[in-house]
Structure 1
Amino acid sequence: MKMTVDFEECLKDSPRFRAALEEVEGDVAELELKLDKLVKLCIVMIDTGKAFCVANKQFMNGIRDLAQYSSNDAVVETSLTKFSDSLQEMINFHTILFDQTQRSIKAQLQNFVKEDLRKFKDAKKQFEKVSEEKENALVKNAQVQRNKQHEVEEATNILTATRKCFRHIALDYVLQINVLQSKRRSEILKSMLSFMYAHLAFFHQGYDLFSELGPYMKDLGAQLDRLVVDAAKEKREMEQKHSTIQQKAALQDFSSDDSKLEYNVDAANGIVMEGYLFKRASNAFKTWNRRWFSIQNNQLVYQKKFKDNPTVVVEDLRLCTVKHCEDIERRFCFEVVSPTKSCMLQADSEKLRQAWIKAVQTSIATAYREKGDESEKLDKKSSPSTGSLDSGNESKDKLLKGESALQRVQCIPGNASCCDCGLADPRWASINLGITLCIECSGIHRSLGVHFSKVRSLTLDTWEPELLKLMCELGNDVINRVYEAKVEKMGIKKPQPGQRQEKEAYIKAKYVERKFVDKYSVSSSPPEQEKRIVSKSCEEKRLSISKLGPGDQVRVPPQSSEGERQDSSVFLDSKHFNPGLQLYRASYEKNLPKMAEALAHGADVNWANSEENKATPLIQAVLGGSLVTCEFLLQNGANVNQRDVQGRGPLHHATVLGHTGQVCLFLKRGANQHATDEEGKDPLTIAVEAANADIVTLLRLARMNEEMRESEGLYGQPGDETYQDIFRDFSQMASNNPEKLNRFQQDSQKF
């Protein structure tokens, strides 16, 4: 048996004994530090493992939820359930591993440190104390004089007793040291061996578990390979079908869906014909709502939503008649009249109207035939039971109105590919910039924030008419001439599709830092001569508006001469022009590319011209009479309620000028119609004094809707359906048929 400290040397208390003690004590102190550190690391490992088990269990529960969601797909549900059960078993194995680790490492070594090392420290303290007492007894014994017999005997007795005590405690201390040195080996190895056996059991359990799962996973992998092949085949077939239909659709008339329309009086489900029609409401506003109509069971019915119960318009078609309506403003209208009521309907095209009228007439005849009225029988051969309508050749205007937002916007130069990376067929757009984007670039634009780019889907989102016209006024070519003006000079290469990091850096440099914009020198104020020329027409218009009294009509000053317009544009393009003033002038001239250029050069969208009553670009857009210009400024952060020195905001000016479409737009964008000018007049007062019925109707409807929402606590809600329908109609008319909203100006000119 090998001893760390020899017992014989202990009795001699030799320098070798003291050196051995010093070495052992240092080793034990180092051992204690190492064991403490190991125990703490074990605690951290166990806590982290338990947190991992909790997170893993949450993940496994997510897989089970997905399995339940996929209950209609037996393969997916079975696979996910089996995988989640296996993962649950692995979580259980992990939990057992951490419990055994806690027992083998943490508990066992911690107990060794607390018990055995504590005994060693106690023995060390006793040894050091008796060792000091022995040294004192030796010194005292050596100092006693021989002629003092009494002191000699006393010192001798004390030394003898102290030596006996020292030998006893020293032997105990050496025993404790040797036992500790022997035990620490077994304690450390025992705890580590137990820890490793726990790992061995864990991996054996995992191996056995996945060995059983292996054949199933192999079969699933083979099945998945077949699914991938089938999916690729189906994708090719769908792409081929998509291409065929797209080519066919390109030759058809997009103003209606009449190419797909069919009616069948002998249909098995009883539905003779179905499709969308506009229905005029019977309320005081006579609003038009789009509903899904069908002729079935000798009745005319409609639905707002698929799950709604059908609303019956005509109980018995035998008692009604159908006729064309040409005496109202809307096109393609027809009326179904019964003894008790009439229903005004509107189709999307003339061919659809004819088809619906023929379907109703055929259904009336069929209803009589089924009741046995032989005189009303319809010869089936002379009136076929099924009919298919061709698309026909409609005008270009109708074609554009029927196209989707994607088709409209992609027709603009440069819009057929992504503005930033050039990927073909972009399906997203930035509405404040007026550009089209691929899906990856659109995600990067979203990360810039809405103050730089407002992203919208061309296929998934609904598009207001003024917003769609705004997109068609700009386009990728126009914007890139501004934001990429110096790309070639700087030797910069545009990122290619798929280069995510390069795209992010390029787009940030392009729109946020505006590194590629051709900066020109900007003067704080243009020369006086330029100021007078560029503001002449605006000032004339503003003076004519400010002098209006109750009942006065708007007198728009005549257009400037051709030479004067040329001078204005020259000064507008001057490199010494203030970007804010450039935006201000371009807003009046309805020049969206120039407006986009001014914003790219840092123009404040809410810049106020101190030379012209602190009017803003948005007020200039109102004076210029362009709805799209107003929409562009609003999308780029223009304040719809910022007023000039006369206290008049954009809504005031639009009301004074009788611009109904702009009034509708500003109300939709949150304009405050209660604000008064310096004369104490709000927009409604001005509209009433001017006898503008359309604007009065809009303002009163908006006020009524606002009061209704406040009384019912519907803050933040858009309002009731009637309100929305009326504003939607005005928006459509302002964008597509603005001449119909010029009734006020036309009537005033008659007088």
Structure 2
Amino acid sequence: MTVKLDFEECLKDSPRFRADIEEVEGDVNELETRLDKLVKQCNTMLEAGKVFCQNSKNFVAGLKELGHHYSSDATMGCLDKFSKKLLFILEAQGEAIDTIQKNVKMKLQSFVKEDVRRFKEVRKEFERCSEALDTALNKNAQVPRGKQHEVEEASNALLNARKASRSGALDYVLEINVIESKKKTEVLNAVLSLMDTQAQFFQQGHQSLKELESYRKNLSDEQTQLVLNAAREKRDMEQRHAAIKKKDMSYDDSIMDYCADAATGIVMEGYLYKRASNAFKTWSRRWFSIQKNQLVYQKKFKEQPTVVVEDLRLCTVKTCVDQERRFCFEVVSPSKTCLLQADSERQQQGWITAVQSSIASAFQERREDTLSPRERLSSVSAGSGVGQEQEGSSCQALEEVQAIPGNNHCCDCGEPGPDWASINLGITLCITCSGIHRSLGVHFSKVRSLTLDSWEPELIRLMCELGNSAINRIYEARIDEITIKKPHPSSPRQDKESWIRSKYVEKKFIQKLPETGRVTPLRRSSARRNRSTVQERAGPRPTLKPKPNRATLPRLSGISPSDLKNNTASYKDCEDEEEDLSGLHPGALLYRSAALQHFPVMADALAHGADVNWVNVAEDSSTPLIQAATANSLAACEFLLQNGASVNQADSNGKGPLHHATILGHTGLVCLFLKRGADYNAKDKSSKDPISIAVESANADIVTLLRIAKMNKEMREMDGAFGQSGDETCLDIFRDFSQMASNNPEKLKRRSTDIKIL
């Protein structure tokens, strides 16, 4: 006997199970109708048979009397013999009618009246328990978080309803399997009884029944084996049913199993409440599943699933604690946000983990389905010039960034050949760790692909100034003192996620600042102030080598301030400027290191909580970004901007970073600040904006950039909602200036004496 429904499936109460029982119920109803009709037809046949036998006997009696009439005729003597044979056949037919009535009609009638009726009673009890469970679930979901007595009452009601529902479901599944088995045996038994009776009845006269003899025998043997098997399986099902019924069915969670390699492609499924996006914000309970890198839901099994998230790689998931309803979480994608509610905290965490694991799996599948980074970069694109330019920037980014010592392995797990990066941290990552970094939020880590995204020159230079080794010396400074083990490439995703959150969010492994690190910064020496306003860098630093360490803190490298002062052979020009930075608080440390263009110290200051927009009131309320702009460091400015520096924060003279870059003639920085949204109309205390300053200093390139930015904004305002025609040309010009500022800065030193304001 084949088991129609599984007991574990009924505990899930899934749409699939509902569809199966609907199919069984429809089949049983149809079977009941057909059996009722068959029993009526059998009764009509039996009544007709009795009438036929009686009429036949009358006919035989008349034939016998006719035979007596021809008693003197030996030829007609056959009538008497034939009448005796016919009478014998009619007697056998009467017995056959009685047997059919006993073995066919009564058994089929009993199956319909007893077994089918019992099936319907169990079904009614199952439906009643299911309705009670739905009512309890709705009440439990609607209980406000703050009303504890209502929560307990609803939880107890749900506990009892779930226990009764699952008990009723198990009984119903057992009855379904029993009736599925019995409907075969009962019908087969009735048919075989009818065939035996008919075979005996027509044994002497019907060759057709003799031809069915072997078939009848085989069928009889099969029916006997089915009866034996059905009895054995029924016994096993009853034992299993009793064993499962002894288990605790009062637990508050559905059966939840996350299986990434499920044969059906469904890695997770279960019921969740979904809040509608309409004005009423109604909640509906739907069957959700994760399949084919998508999150979908449906109400009925045969309905077309509704897609919530088209591509899991484009979404993130997080708990939602500001809702009055409990166990809520959000699935956020670029196009919409879906608010969901689980039945318990365990289910909530299970779904969040499942979505996060599916996001990681989706990225992993994408990586395996595509070519390796080197193969992608070595292929020549046949597309447009922009595509070739982006491919070239990706190739340059991958080669230069991975050439930095330590960058050829993932910063967090050590997987070789990482092709993802965090641009605000300056590290390289594998695909798994990059997905975890992305889930932290852009205020912690901004993830970009080294092979799929385009890279601006200043970003490449920024990545080359830091690197995995420098960042790990900061964020893993106390790793030897901590018992937590660093994950390796084959570690589970959960271990990697726990490590990354501890490292970058909780910052458990950074060196603690000394208590003395709270003093206010001193003013710069006059020599430094003078040089910072008149000097320009002669050319770009090599991008593949880390910058020499001019102000390394003791907690980073173990070099003391006295060692720095004694190291005058390499830095004779800074003899009068050396200062001990170890006593500065993080904001002042960021400020000083931005002026020195020392990226590891800047990163260390940010790791210790430095305000990226910290103001030095002792130096005209200058900010770290203004210091980096004064030093004409594209990479330092980019680093600060990527970490949240305000491009429009001005000093006490009303001069922002764009003003300072314009005054000093730093064309590359002007281009960078304009790309990052700097206000070219902002006026300082002398009522001068950057354009008037550039005109006065006769810097043709900066005037060009500022005027192009202004014209681009005006064109966008004129186009309004119909387009942004000026953007593409403006971005192309800015891109060219960025390339020139990074690779050929000497070309940006042009001056013009005949510039006129438009």
TMscore range, shorter length: 0.3 to 0.5
Taking structure 2 as the reference length, the TM-score comes to 0.47
Q: For the pair shown, which has the larger CA radius of gyration, 1 or 2?
A: 1
Taking structure 1 as the reference length, the TM-score comes to 0.47
